[in-house]
């Protein structure tokens, strides 16, 4: 029985979809004006695992992850770069897809873009005006009147009167309440704009998610996810917009993932303390980054550092080493269901990936024990490890190809093989001095040799 922590109720609840066997899920994706950093990677990986697990459980999942391709930051960046705005967003959407593919993220079923939804956004703004939740300001902006929405604050647990509006940013005088937010923004001359009943303009930040999610998944759907920082105001505002416009409940379960931190501080663009995914992948295999993300439960903060990534690499090496050389494709999965049951119990508990990973390590130990005397058993267990790994999006490549992967330019595989052949000859002649010399030469190049009864295997450190 799957339990999910729901931000709305602040507790774990047994998950029950609106329509039996079907799950509709919407996740706030990226605003495309820069490369993805590790924090974005976390959102993608976390919800990728959520969707993989839901599918594993047999649900028919419709997964929507949006792209916000019009907003203040994008406009500003285009001006800075002297770049056409569409060219800018196209460039970063392509980069986003590349990063996602590297991280073995299954593409969402629908990836709607804000600029393709202007008509539907305008309709929703009009509905909000008609329903009395919005007003046109003296600047010709359309604003949402939060005081009209009785439940405002229900997601983030905030009391409107307790908030320090204007503490850090000047309040726009044209607003009726300092926390009212823009639905439709009147355009300046040189900005991208679309025609609307309120003059030419563009959507405010929150409305596009309400319009896209409702259109793709219906007025009322199962799960809505995103980073912690979107809880307020973004998701709070989405609720106000969608429920104000449709007069129906919006979302059943709200899921929010924790931040990636650096030196105990949130990784963010504004602090400038971020690493982009592509930077990290210059140093580490993408699966190492994915594994690192899954070593923390998704709601907990996660601390990013080279040491952590090194540790992740070591751990993943252990799992792949267990899989190495096993003929898993040609043997059935093990009959022993205890590992799968433990794995599932962990995942059923609000996607507890660290505990699920612990099961994979126990399974690996079992494989390593079996491989010396019962290769068939080892391979069957290996098959199981591979299948469970798949739910986490891990362990799907050939073990050799992970263990021997070149990230930074190093000695070639052919050269290594040659030296190993040379060393095997020396060993045959019991010329240990030569054998050891070759081994330590390779060690200096970060190549580790492992002798066994069949010959010598190697891997890169």
Partner RNA sequence: GGCUGAAUGGCAGAGUGGUUAUGCAGCGGCCUGCAAAGCCGUGUACGUCGGUUCGAUUCCGUCUUCAGCCUCCA
Site for RNA in 218-237 (CB under 7 A): 226-234
Contact between 309 and RNA per CB under 7 A: no
Contact between 77 and RNA per CB under 7 A: no
Contact between 373 and RNA per CB under 7 A: no
Q: Where are the alpha helices (DSSP H) in 324-449?
A: 338-348, 353-370, 375-392, 399-403, 413-428, 432-444
Of residues 12 and 188, the one with the C-beta less far from RNA: 12
Contact between 168 and RNA per CB under 7 A: yes
Contact between 361 and RNA per CB under 7 A: yes
Q: Which stretch binds RNA (CB under 7 A): 89-97, 177-185, 392-400, 414-422?
A: 177-185
Per-residue contact track with RNA, 315 to 334, x per CB under 7 A?
x--x--xx------------
Q: How far is CA 235 from the centre of its chain?
A: 18
Burial of residue 30 (CB within 10 Å: 0-12, 13-18, 19+) is: buried
Q: Which stretch binds RNA (CB under 7 A): 120-128, 330-338, 351-359, 374-382?
A: 351-359
Angstrom distance (rounded) from CA 352 to CA 336 = 22
CB 206 within 8 A of CB 233: yes
Report the candidate in 315, 336, 298 with the shortest Cα–Cα distance to residue 402: 315
Q: Which stretch binds RNA (CB under 7 A): 108-116, 174-182, 187-195, 394-402?
A: 174-182
Contact between 270 and RNA per CB under 7 A: yes
Q: Longest Cα pair distance anywhere in the chain, in angstroms?
A: 92
Contact between 308 and RNA per CB under 7 A: yes
Report the candidate in 431, 428, 403, 433 with the shortest Cα–Cα distance to residue 416: 403
CB 13 within 8 A of CB 253: yes
Burial of residue 112 (CB within 10 Å: 0-12, 13-18, 19+) is: buried
Q: Which of residues 19-38 bind RNA (CB under 7 A)?
A: 28, 30-31, 37
- 180: tokens are 């009212």
Of residues 3 and 127, the one with the C-beta less far from RNA: 3
Of residues 16 and 437, the one with the C-beta less far from RNA: 437
- 228: tokens are 């912690």
Q: Which stretch binds RNA (CB under 7 A): 52-60, 76-84, 195-203, 356-364?
A: 356-364
Contact between 388 and RNA per CB under 7 A: no
Report the candidate in 94, 90, 43 with the shortest Cα–Cα distance to residue 70: 90
Q: How many residues bind RNA (CB under 7 A)?
A: 85
CB 70 within 8 A of CB 203: yes
Among 83, 265, 327, 374, binds RNA (CB under 7 A): 265
Q: Which of residues 181-200 bind RNA (CB under 7 A)?
A: 181
Contact between 355 and RNA per CB under 7 A: yes
Among 127, 176, 283, 368, binds RNA (CB under 7 A): 368
Among 352, 404, 410, 413, binds RNA (CB under 7 A): 352
């Amino acid at each position: 029985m799957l339990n999910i922590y729901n931000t709305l109720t602040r507790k774990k609840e047994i998950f029950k979809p609106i329509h039996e066997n079907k799950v509709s899920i919407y996740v706030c994706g990226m605003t495309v004006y820069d490369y993805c950093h590790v924090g974005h990677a976390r959102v993608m990986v976390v919800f990728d695992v959520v969707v993989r697990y839901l599918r594993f459980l047999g649900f028919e999942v419709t997964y929507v992850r949006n792209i916000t391709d019009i907003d203040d930051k994008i406009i500003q960046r285009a001006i800075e770069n002297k770049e056409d705005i569409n060219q800018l967003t196209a460039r970063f959407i392509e980069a986003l897809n590349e990063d996602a593919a590297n991280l073995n993220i299954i593409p969402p079923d629908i990836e709607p873009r804000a600029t393709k939804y202007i008509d539907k956004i305008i309709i929703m703004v009009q509905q909000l005006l008609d329903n009395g939740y919005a007003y046109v300001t003296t600047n010709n902006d359309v604003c949402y009147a939060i005081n009209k929405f009785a439940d405002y604050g229900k997601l983030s647990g905030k009391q409107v009167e307790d908030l320090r509006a204007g503490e850090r940013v000047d309040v726009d005088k044209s607003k009726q309440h300092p926390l009212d937010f823009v639905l439709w923004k009147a355009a300046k001359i040189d900005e991208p704009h679309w025609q609307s009943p309120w003059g030419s303009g563009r959507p405010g930040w929150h409305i596009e998610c309400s319009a896209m999610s409702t259109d793709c998944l219906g007025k009322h759907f199962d799960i809505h996810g995103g980073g912690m920082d979107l809880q307020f105001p973004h998701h709070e505002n989405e609720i106000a917009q969608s429920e104000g416009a449709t007069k129906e409940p919006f979302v059943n379960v709200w899921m929010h993932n924790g931040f990636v931190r650096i030196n105990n501080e949130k990784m963010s663009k504004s602090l400038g303390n971020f690493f982009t995914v592509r930077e990290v992948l210059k140093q580490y295999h993408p699966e190492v980054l994915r594994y690192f993300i899954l070593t923390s439960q998704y709601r907990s903060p996660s601390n990013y550092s080279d040491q952590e990534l090194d540790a992740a690499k070591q751990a993943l090496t252990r799992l792949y080493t267990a899989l190495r050389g096993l003929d898993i494709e040609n043997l059935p999965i093990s009959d022993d269901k205890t590992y799968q049951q433990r794995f599932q119990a962990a995942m059923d508990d609000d996607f507890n990936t660290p505990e699920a990973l612990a099961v994979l390590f126990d399974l690996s130990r079992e494989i390593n024990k079996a491989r010396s005397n019962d290769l068939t058993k080892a391979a069957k267990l290996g098959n199981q490890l591979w299948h469970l790994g798949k739910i986490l999006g891990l362990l799907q490549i050939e073990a050799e190809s992970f263990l021997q992967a070149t990230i930074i330019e190093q000695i070639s595989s052919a050269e290594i093989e040659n030296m190993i052949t040379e060393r095997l000859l020396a060993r045959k002649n019991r010329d240990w001095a030569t054998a050891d010399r070759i081994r330590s030469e390779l060690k200096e190049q970060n190549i580790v040799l492992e002798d066994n009864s069949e010959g010598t295997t190697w891997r890169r450190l």
